[in-house]
């Protein structure tokens, strides 16, 4: 039975980066996105420093509080008198108030910087992506590209917004905290450093190992579910082969594997809890024991011990949080690398500013000994020595078996690819010498499968000319034989189409695509099997609209049904990338030994 995908979640794409020079170089390029917000960033850093410092004031003041004497009343004490309980309490409240204010400012400022930077990064990446050449899209899966913009930017976001600031804060806490500890007692600090961080780090890696185990258990359980799924779906097969015993055995061994792994997890979890209880608390007790000894020698007082313990716990927590933060940061570096790789790809020379004056084109197309193969399959010649001319306003039809290279010719005209040999000229000038955007702006294609995007019919038609007025849109729809059915919808042109709206028939979608093309007013028109998928009734409506659209434009018509190309000015018969015959319908049909003749006889007998 076909093995299905395992149920366990995959972390693909979220791997932390290896820290090499290249990774750093790419990461520093992010700085470009931070630069416009350097002021806010610096301010955020100051707030970060302030909150870290203030958080260290708490354990110190706590120690002072323990040592202090009580006094007359809460409000009468001065803030600066650190021997007085009330003044220390007031100071503590002030510390927390300041910490709250700085904490708010820090989080908001870092948010401001990173959200702006990320929004710009997202836009840049997308703008780069849509301008990449077709070859790029042949080499990358859509899902992969999608996850670049969504998942990778999200990883970067996590790294930049929280983890980076958190990491800095923890490092400040640890270094300053340890400095403060040595001020209280060098001896006790050494005892603490020799034990607590070690235990804290062991606990972190222990915890990770357990998480990894429990993920493996989940994967195993998913495996067992796959067996249930497969056998129940194919229960006929199981019974027909009377393989029930075999399947029960298969399931059993899979379940037992999951159980054993789960038990292993249980053992390690137990060990983890005992480790925490014994080592963690043991170390704390040990430090307290040492502290009490030092106190007996008169080296420490009660307040010092309190400060010391509170600081130690803070430092321990900081140290324990570092591995997680570093992992998140490394993931962000990995995501950055991938995003920068994407930005490094060479885009097509397409301008993103709207075309103001359309390129004046008469629309003459000439293929001169064009040969071509796709870069992804260089050994497979798709076009061989193809030559033909389409004069302005002419209709040239391409016919031939599927795989002959007809659509490839269309994509070469659109300059999705450039010829490998020979050249294509437009109005006598090499197509490569035109501004790509301006050239494509004067071309339109009506394909076999029209993709409408989720939006209103009006928006879908206006795609041919962004900013078109309602009157223009309606006029285009009328020319495309689309007005009648659009007006028939209760919401008319504001009807939403696509997944969340009305499903249109193939013929209706085709006529919307034609209305788009009418609005675009191209000099060169390409119809790639535009009516092939339609039933006869809607084909007639679409064909009528197409005939109107083709008037006065150079058209390349690719057709499956020969009946639709009968009145073309020239018909090219293609097979295996070669032009076998060319001429008008009457000329070609007269050649009784030719491919066109036999194709047309075949279709007549089918009809």
Ligand X SMILES: Nc1ncnc2c1ncn2[C@@H]1O[C@H](COP(=O)(O)OP(=O)(O)O)[C@@H](O)[C@H]1O
**Binding footprint of ligand X on the chain (CB under 6 A):** 138, 374, 376-377, 382, 402-408
List the one residue out of 308, 352, 5 whose CA is nearest residue 178.
308
DSSP H or E run through 9: none
Nearest-approach distance from CB 417 to ligand X, in angstroms: 9
d(CA 40, CA 112): 8
Least Å distance between CB 148 and ligand X?
21
238: buried, middle or exposed (CB in 10 Å: 19+, 13-18, 0-12)? middle
Nearest distance from residue 535's CB to Mg ion, in Å?
A: 20
Identity of the residue, 63 or 419, whose beta carbon is nearer to Mg ion in the bound complex: 419
Closest distance to Mg ion from the beta carbon of 387 (Å)? 20
Which of Mg ion, ligand X, none binds 138 (CB below 5-8 Å, type-dependent)? ligand X
Q: What sign does the dihedral 398-402-405-407 (CA atoms) show?
A: positive
Beta carbon nearer to Mg ion, 413 or 477: 413
Q: Smallest gap, in angstroms, from Cβ of residue 505 to ligand X?
A: 24
Partner in contact with 72, chosen from Mg ion, ligand X, none, beta carbon below 5 to 8 Å by kind? none
* Residue 458 site contact among ligand X, Mg ion, none (CB < 5 to 8 Å, cut-off depends on kind): none
Burial class (CB in 10 A: 0-12, 13-18, 19+), 204: middle
Of 72 and 376, CB closest to ligand X: 376
Task: Output the CA angle 230-232-236, nearest 5 degrees.
Answer: 100
Q: Among Mg ion, ligand X, none, what does residue 405 contact (CB within 5–8 Å per kind)? A: ligand X
**382 is in the binding site of which of ligand X, Mg ion, none (Cβ under 5 to 8 A by kind)?**
ligand X
Q: Report the distance separating Cα 555 and Cα 551, nearest Å.
A: 9
Give the nearest distance from C-beta 510 to ligand X in angstroms.
18
Non-local (6+) Cβ contacts of 212 within 8 A are none
**How many degrees, rounded to 5, is the angle at CA 230 between CA 226 and CA 233?**
135
DSSP 262-313: HHHHHHHHHHHHHHIIIIIHHHHHHHHHHHHHHHHTTS--HHHHHHHHHHHH
**Binds 408, which of Mg ion, ligand X, none (CB < 5 to 8 A, cut-off by type)?**
ligand X
Q: Which is nearer to ligand X, 206 or 374 (CB)?
A: 374
Residue nearest to Mg ion (CB): 407
Between 412 and 482, whose beta carbon lies closer to ligand X?
Answer: 412
User: Between 265 and 577, whose beta carbon lies closer to ligand X?
Assistant: 577
CA triplet 210, 215, 220: central angle to 5 degrees? 125
User: Of the two residues 95 and 399, which places its CB atom closer to ligand X in the complex?
Assistant: 399
The percent helix, strand, coil of the chain (3-state, each to 5) is 65, 10, 25
Q: How far is the CB of 559 from ligand X (least distance, A)?
A: 11
Which of Mg ion, ligand X, none is residue 404 near (CB under 5 to 8 Å by kind)? ligand X
Q: What is the dihedral of CA 208, 212, 215, 216, to 10 degrees?
A: -160
Which positions touch Mg ion (CB under 5 A)?
Answer: 407
Q: Which is nearer to ligand X, 65 or 572 (CB)?
A: 572
- Quote the least distance from Cβ 594 to ligand X, whole Å: 18
Rounded CA gap, 457 and 594, in Å?
A: 45
């Amino acid at each position: 039975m076909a093995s299905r995908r395992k149920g366990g979640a995959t972390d693909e794409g979220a791997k932390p980066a290896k820290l090499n020079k290249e990774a750093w170089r790419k990461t520093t390029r992010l700085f470009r996105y931070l630069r416009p917000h350097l002021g806010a960033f610096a301010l955020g850093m100051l707030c970060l420093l302030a909150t870290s410092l203030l958080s260290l004031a708490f354990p110190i003041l706590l120690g002072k509080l323990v040592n202090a004497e009580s006094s007359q009343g809460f409000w009468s004490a001065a803030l600066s008198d650190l021997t007085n309980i009330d003044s220390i309490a007031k100071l503590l409240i002030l510390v927390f108030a300041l910490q709250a204010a700085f904490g708010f400012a820090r989080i908001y400022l870092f948010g401001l910087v990173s959200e702006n930077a990320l929004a710009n990064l997202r836009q840049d990446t997308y703008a780069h992506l849509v301008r990449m050449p077709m070859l790029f899209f042949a080499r990358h899966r859509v899902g992969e590209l999608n996850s670049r913009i969504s998942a990778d930017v999200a990883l970067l976001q996590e790294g930049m917004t929280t983890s980076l600031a958190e990491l800095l804060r923890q490092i400040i806490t640890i270094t300053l905290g340890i400095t403060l500890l040595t001020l209280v007692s060098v001896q006790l600090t050494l005892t603490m450093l020799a034990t607590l961080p070690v235990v804290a780090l062991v606990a972190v890696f222990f915890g990770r190992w357990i998480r990894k185990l429990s993920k493996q258990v989940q994967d195993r359980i998913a495996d067992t579910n796959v067996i249930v799924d497969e056998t129940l779906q194919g229960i006929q097969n199981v019974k027909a082969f009377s393989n029930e015993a075999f399947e029960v055995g298969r399931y059993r061994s899979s379940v037992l594997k999951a159980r054993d792994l789960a038990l292993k997890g249980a053992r390690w979890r137990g060990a983890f809890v005992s480790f925490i209880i014994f080592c963690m608390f043991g170390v704390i007790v040990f430090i307290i024991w040492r502290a009490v000894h030092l106190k007996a020698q008169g080296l420490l007082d009660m307040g010092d011990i309190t400060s010391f313990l509170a600081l130690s716990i803070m430092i321990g927590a900081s140290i324990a949080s570092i591995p997680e933060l570093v992992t998140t940061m490394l993931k962000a570096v990995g995501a950055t690398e991938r995003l920068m790789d994407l930005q490094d790809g060479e885009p097509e020379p397409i301008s993103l500013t709207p075309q103001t004056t359309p390129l004046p084109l008469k629309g003459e197309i000439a293929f001169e000994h064009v040969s071509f193969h796709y870069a992804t399959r260089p050994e497979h010649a798709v076009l061989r020595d193809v030559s033909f001319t389409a004069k302005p306003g002419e209709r040239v039809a391409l016919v031939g078996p599927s795989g002959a290279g007809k659509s490839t010719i269309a994509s070469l005209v659109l300059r999705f690819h450039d010829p490998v040999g020979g050249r294509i000229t437009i109005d006598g000038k090499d197509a490569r010498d035109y501004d790509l955007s301006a050239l494509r702006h004067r071309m339109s294609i009506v394909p076999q499968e029209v993709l409408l995007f989720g939006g209103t019919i009006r928006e879908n038609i206006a795609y041919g000319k962004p900013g078109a007025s309602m009157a223009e849109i309606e006029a285009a729809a009328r020319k495309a034989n689309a007005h009648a059915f659009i007006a028939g919808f209760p919401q008319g042109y504001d009807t939403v189409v696509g997944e969340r709206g009305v499903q249109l028939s193939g013929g209706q979608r085709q006529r919307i695509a034609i209305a788009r093309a009418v609005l675009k007013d191209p000099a060169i028109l390409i119809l790639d099997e535009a009516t092939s998928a339609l039933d006869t009734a809607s084909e007639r409506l679409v064909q009528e609209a197409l005939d109107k659209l083709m008037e006065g434009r150079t058209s390349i018509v690719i057709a499956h049904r020969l009946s639709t190309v009968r009145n073309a000015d020239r018909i090219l018969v293609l097979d295996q990338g070669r032009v076998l015959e060319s001429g008008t319908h009457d000329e070609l049909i007269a050649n009784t030994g030719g491919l066109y003749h036999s194709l047309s006889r075949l279709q007549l007998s089918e009809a």
